[in-house]
Amino acid sequence: MMLAHDPRHELPKVNTTLPGPKSAELFARHDPHLTGANADHEIYPLLEAGKRGFLIEDADGNTFADHMSAWGASPFGPTPPEVKAAMDTAWDRHGMQISGWLPNQAALDLVAKLVEIAPGRLSRVEYSVSGTLAVEAAVKFMRESSRRPLIITFGGQYHGESTYLTAGASSDLSNVSSGRTQYVSGVVMVPYPNRFRSPFRRGPGPVDECEVLDYLDYLLVQQVHPGQVAGVLIEPVLGEGGIHAPSQRFWDRLGAMCKRWGWLLCLDEVQTCMGRCGTMFAMQRWQGIDPDLLLLGKAFAAGGQPIAAILGTDAVMANTELHLGSTYGFAPAACAGALAGVNLIEAGGVLDNALELERIFKQVLEPLRHEIEQVGDVRAVGAMAAIEFVMDKASNRPAPAFQYAVHHASLRRGVLGISQRGKWHLRLQPALTMAPVVFRHSCEQIAAAIREVAVCPPAEKTDIQDAAALALR
Ligand SMILES: Cc1ncc(COP(=O)(O)O)c(C=O)c1O
C-alpha cells in the first residue's frame, strides 16, 4: 500500500551553492534599501520563499529544516490550523482593539487561562506586545513595588533591544567589547551560573556554578547595600547566552537570598515559556521556585500575532498605578491565537515531543565530545539545544570561527540553526512539534558538518579570541 506523502516528514535538500542565483539577485535588488545589518546575508545566505512541514524553502527551491522557528516564536510549525481558526474568529468579531483601555472577551479569556496555569502565587496579568516591553515593564513593577532602585541581572542574559536592557544584560560579547552597548545605572550584574566555564577560574570544568552567588554575597558587603535591591531578573534557562540550566542548589540558594533581603524574583521566560523546555514554564523543571513576576513572549504567540505578558503576584500588581500595556498589547486576534496555543499544549503530546527532541539531540551529538577536540559541551533543555565549541579541550578557549564554519557546513546540508558571528555556540530551537525523524536527520547532518570542519579547523581571529578569553577564560 502506498503511504500518503506527509510534508511533516519531508527531509531538506540543497541543490545550489548558497546563496542560490535567485536569492542573490533579489538580495542585490533590495539591499540598497535595508540597514547594513539586514543587508548582511553572510550568516543566512538564502531568501525564504515559503514554508511547508518543518522546512523553509528558499527562492531557488532549496529546502532547510527550520531550527530557528522564528527565534522560538513559531512553536507549532507554520500556520497551525487551530491557531489560525481562533485568530480568524476573533479578528472577524473584534478587528483591532486596545485591550488595556477597552476590555474585550478575547483578552479576558486569555487572562483567565493564564491565571489558571500560572505557577505559585502569580495571579495577575499585564498586557504587552513584545519580550522587550515585558521586561521593561517588569523592571518598573519591581521598582514601584519595592521602592528600591537596583536590579540584579546575570551576564550573558538577553532581554531585548531597548537602551535600558541592552545595558542591563547582553549576551552579545562583541557588542559589549566594542562599546556599542548603552550604559545606564541601576543594574548590578554577576556572571550567569554556568557549569562549563567560569570567569573565576581557568581551564575546563566542571564548575560549581553557585560560586556566582558567593560573588554576589561579596558584592553585598563591598559595593551594594541589599536594602537597595528591588529584585533579581533571571532567565531560568539561559537562551541567547548558550542554553545553560542552573542546578536545584542554585535555585534554593537564590530563593533564600531573595527571602532574606526582600528581593522580588522575576523570571524572564520570554524564550523558555509555553513548552520550549518540555514543561509549560521552564521553572517547572525544578522544585520550589517561587517567582513574584514571570514574563511571557515568543512561543506564547503560538506562531500568530505578536503578544507578550507580565504575570505577577497580588502584592506587586493589585494596587499598582502603573499602566504598562501598549497599543497593540493583547490585541483580540493575538489573544485568541495565544489561547489556542495553550490549549494545544494542554491537549497533550507537545511537551513529550519536546523532551523526545532533547533525548535525540543528546544521543546523536554527545558522543562527539569524546571524538572531536573542538566540541566542548553539548547541552539541551527540551527543544532548546546548543553545542559549544572550544579551540582545544585543555585550554577550553572559545572557538567562534569553528562554530561559524559548522553553521555554514550544516546549512549546506539543509540544517538551519541559530548562529551569530563571534559566538562559540550553535543553537537549535525547532518547533516543539518537529517530527523526531526530521530532527534526528538534522542532528546527524550537524555531526557530519562538525567532522568535516574538524579535518581542517579555521583559524580563530585573535581579537575576538582575546576578548572571549578575557571574559570567559
Ligand atoms: C529571554 C528574552 N527576553 C526578552 C527578549 C526580547 O523579546 P522581543 O524580541 O520579543 O522583544 C528575548 C528575545 O530573544 C529573550 O530571549
Q: Is 235 in the pocket of ligand 1 (CB under 6 A)?
A: yes
Predicted confidence (pLDDT) per residue in 9-47, tens digit: 999 999 999 999 999 999 999 999 999 989 999 999 999
Total of domains in the chain: 2
Does some domain include residue 124? Answer: yes
308-312, strands of its sheet edge to edge: 124-128, 308-312, 293-296, 264-268, 229-234, 150-155, 187-191
C-alpha of residue 131 to centroid of ligand 1, in Å: 5
Does some domain include residue 2? Answer: no
Q: Is 170 in the pocket of ligand 1 (CB under 6 A)?
A: no
Does some domain include residue 7? Answer: no
Q: Is 270 in the pocket of ligand 1 (CB under 6 A)?
A: yes
Instruction: Cite the DSSP H helix spans in 311-376.
Output: 314-317, 332-346, 350-365, 368-371
Question: Which of 320, 346, 372 marks a domain boundary?
Answer: 346
Q: Which domain holds residue 399?
A: 12-78+350-472
C-alpha of residue 173 to centroid of ligand 1, in Å: 17
Q: Is 271 in the pocket of ligand 1 (CB under 6 A)?
A: yes
The three three-digit cell numbers of residue 104, written as one number = 474585550
Helix, coil or strand: residue 209? coil
284 lies in the same domain as 169: yes
- 465 pLDDT more than 60: no
Shortest-distance Cα residue to atom 16 of ligand 1: 271
Nearest ligand 1 atom to the CA of 269 is 1
The CATH code of the domain that includes 274 is 3.40.640.10
- 205 pLDDT more than 80: no
> What percent of the chain lies above the pLDDT cut of 90?
84
Question: Which of 289, 311, 346 marks a domain boundary?
Answer: 346
> What percent of the chain lies above the pLDDT cut of 70?
92
73 lies in the same domain as 86: no
Question: Which of 346, 378, 405 marks a domain boundary?
Answer: 346
What is residue 181's predicted lDDT score, i.e. its pLDDT? 53
Nearest ligand 1 atom to the CA of 268 is 1
Q: Is 306 in the pocket of ligand 1 (CB under 6 A)?
A: no
C-alpha of residue 168 to centroid of ligand 1, in Å: 13
C-alpha of residue 135 to centroid of ligand 1, in Å: 8
Place of cell 558567593: 214
Model confidence, pTM: 0.95
